[in-house]
Amino acid sequence: MTLLAEKREHPATRTPRRRPPHPLRAEAVHGFGPWAGTAMLLTVSVVMAGSASRWQGGWAETRTQLHSLMLIAAPLAAAVGCLQGGRERRRRTEELWETAVRGPLARFLASALPVALWVAAGYLVAAAGALIATWLCALGDRPYLALLPADAVVLAACVVAGHVLGRLVAWRPVAPLLAVAGYVGLAVPSMSDSGVGHYLDPSFAPLADFDPLWWQPTAMAVWTGGLATAAVLAYAARRRYTALLPLAAATAAGALLVHTGDGLWHESPLTRRQVCDASTTPQVCVNVRYAKLLPQATEALSGVTSRLEGVRNLPVRFEDRSGAPRHDEVELPMLTPRGWYLVRDQLTNPRQFAWEAVDKLKDRDDCDGVDARTDRADDAVQNYLAPSPAQKYNDDLDAHGDQAQRTELKARRAARARLASMDDEERRAWLSAYFATSSRCDLKGVPAL
């Protein structure tokens, strides 16, 4: 009796009862969620690493590449959600799960939300790694982050929608089939130039030179998230008519996307802004997005511009912007798409870059035809300013060709030697006369060699 009295008098000595962990925490830590997030992280990381030469160093290219990966990530997320949704059926614990105190919607969310959050987190971690890799090689511009939150919402919505399907369909292969169907369903509209499907496609990504309207990511998140929320409420809510509210929001967002159409993406104003090196003639300009590349471009063209010193009738500058060049400009060789001449932050083939720049200087692509005399003059100028990397190979082919090819090769070599043998003053005068006709199809004024 004394011991009992002492225990009653000192309730603080009792062992406190431990509160059971919240179902969301248990699912998030010990459930399928971490594995799903890891799968998403590895998938996005591997695909991004395999195409790094096409985006690393360019903020707009990184944004476009990450967004286009929704074509793979969204079907994967839906399949993961479907697998999680069919878990109780595979474990044969459906009847036991139905006896839980919590309602159907709470049970559904406890199972689906941790996986959705893990999948979204896996994508965002992979995206953060891509942004860091771009920052290490960035040539200018700034990060573009507006699409990342919307893409994360789309992935979470795909997980939740797939979870609903997994609860409804007992067939085991439904998850991989859902992934295949999702891939096809996203790929077909994104590749179509007509119809309204690609306006509603969360994986549709135009060229890196285009930016989305400021509200486009939000509308896309409402469109996909509203549909997924409506499916969840229609399946698990006590009052299923509440699904009408998110369905109405999704419909409104979808209608807004379709109504705006091609206006959802507009050309970035940066595509028309340039930075120039005015110390050369012609000046060398690159797009402001690649401002740090200007010294490399100037160096690659230094052999051309030094030989053109004192020559008249030249364009004012090599320009690097969208659209046709002005009458006093000539196009700079293409720096994009990345992965060809521009990999990360380096010009991969300066010699080819210079050859293409000279080819633009003597551009006669719009002319119906060029006679042999003009063709020899063009070849001599090209050989003097920036020989083609394939010139020796082409000459060897002609040297082993028929009589006409050998004769023409001999005439071309003679024209090259004639231009190279001129003194500086004579050559400048000849080149000035040549460039006065380089953009015209009237070949009578082309000086002979």
- Residue 391 CA to residue 35 CA, distance in Å, equals 56
Q: In the numeric block, which tokens belong to residue 40?
A: 């998403």
Per-residue pLDDT at 365: 66
pLDDT at 5 > cutoff 50: no
Integer Rg of the chain from CA: 32
Q: In the numeric block, which tokens belong to residue 264?
A: 């959802």
| 221: confidence class by pLDDT, cuts 50, 70, 90 | very high
The more confidently predicted of residues 30 and 61 is 61
Per-residue pLDDT at 402: 87
* Helices 23-30 + 33-50 axis angle, to 10: 40
Q: Report the helix count and the strand count for the chain, using DSSP H and E.
A: 20, 8
Q: Which residues is 277 bridged to in the sheet?
A: 284
User: Which segment, 10-24, 85-99, 274-288, is predicted with the most confidence on average?
Assistant: 274-288
| 296: confidence class by pLDDT, cuts 50, 70, 90 | very high
| Cα dist from 257 to 213, 224, 247, whole Å | 11, 12, 15
**C-alpha angle 29-31-33 in degrees, rounded to nearest 5:** 80
Identify the three-state secondary structure at position 52. Answer: helix
| 179: confidence class by pLDDT, cuts 50, 70, 90 | very high
Dihedral, 74, 75, 76, 78 alpha carbons, nearest 10? 90
Per-residue pLDDT at 90: 60
- Residue 178 CA to residue 186 CA, distance in Å, equals 12
- Residue 51 CA to residue 35 CA, distance in Å, equals 25
Collect all residues with Cβ–Cβ distance below 8 Å to 382 and sequence separation of at least 6. 355, 358, 359, 362, 388
Mean pLDDT of the chain: 85
Per-residue pLDDT at 26: 57
Per-residue pLDDT at 1: 44
Best CA proximity match to 255, nearest among 297, 296, 226, 235 = 226
pLDDT at 136 > cutoff 80: yes
- Residue 372 CA to residue 109 CA, distance in Å, equals 77
> Distance between alpha carbon 330 and the CA centroid of its chain, in Å?
27
Per-residue pLDDT at 3: 45
Interval 141-158: pLDDT, tens = 899 999 999 999 999 999
Per-residue pLDDT at 208: 85
pLDDT at 2 > cutoff 70: no
- Altogether, the residues listed in the chain come to a count of 449
Handedness of CA 116, 122, 126, 128 (dihedral sign): positive
The more confidently predicted of residues 77 and 22 is 77
Judge contact between 329 and 316, C-beta under 8 A: yes
| Cα dist from 134 to 52, 147, 242, 246, whole Å | 9, 16, 44, 37
- Please compute the mean of the pLDDT values over residues 292-311 and round it to a whole number: 93
Per-residue pLDDT at 362: 79
Domain ranges within the chain, ordered by starting residue:
23-266, 268-361, 362-449
- Please compute the mean of the pLDDT values over residues 354-369 and round it to a whole number: 80
Best CA proximity match to 167, nearest among 234, 75, 70 = 234
Judge contact between 378 and 385, C-beta under 8 A: no
pLDDT at 91 > cutoff 70: no
User: Which secondary-structure segment (H or E) carries 397?
Assistant: helix 391-399
Per-residue pLDDT at 120: 96
pLDDT at 266 > cutoff 60: yes
pLDDT at 330 > cutoff 70: yes
- Please compute the mean of the pLDDT values over residues 303-328 and round it to a whole number: 89
User: Which secondary-structure segment (H or E) carries 2?
Assistant: helix 2-9
User: Which secondary-structure segment (H or E) carries 168?
Assistant: helix 147-168
* Helices 70-85 + 104-137 axis angle, to 10: 150
DSSP string, 87-124: HHHHHT-HHHHHTSSS-HHHHHHHHHHHHHHHHHHHHH
- Give the lowest-confidence range in 86-95, 255-264, 439-448: 86-95
- Please compute the mean of the pLDDT values over residues 262-279 and round it to a whole number: 89
DSSP string, 211-265: EE-TTHHHHHHHHHHHHHHHHHHHHH-SSGGGGHHHHHHHHHHHHHHHHHGGGGE
> Distance between alpha carbon 46 and the CA centroid of its chain, in Å?
15
| 97: confidence class by pLDDT, cuts 50, 70, 90 | low
- Please compute the mean of the pLDDT values over residues 118-130 and round it to a whole number: 96
Best CA proximity match to 232, nearest among 304, 135, 331, 160 = 160
- Residue 97 CA to residue 23 CA, distance in Å, equals 13
- Please compute the mean of the pLDDT values over residues 334-359 and round it to a whole number: 86
Peptide bond into 295 cis (omega under 30): no
Interval 362-416: pLDDT, tens = 777 666 666 788 888 888 999 999 988 888 888 888 888 888 888 888 988 999 9
> Distance between alpha carbon 303 and the CA centroid of its chain, in Å?
34
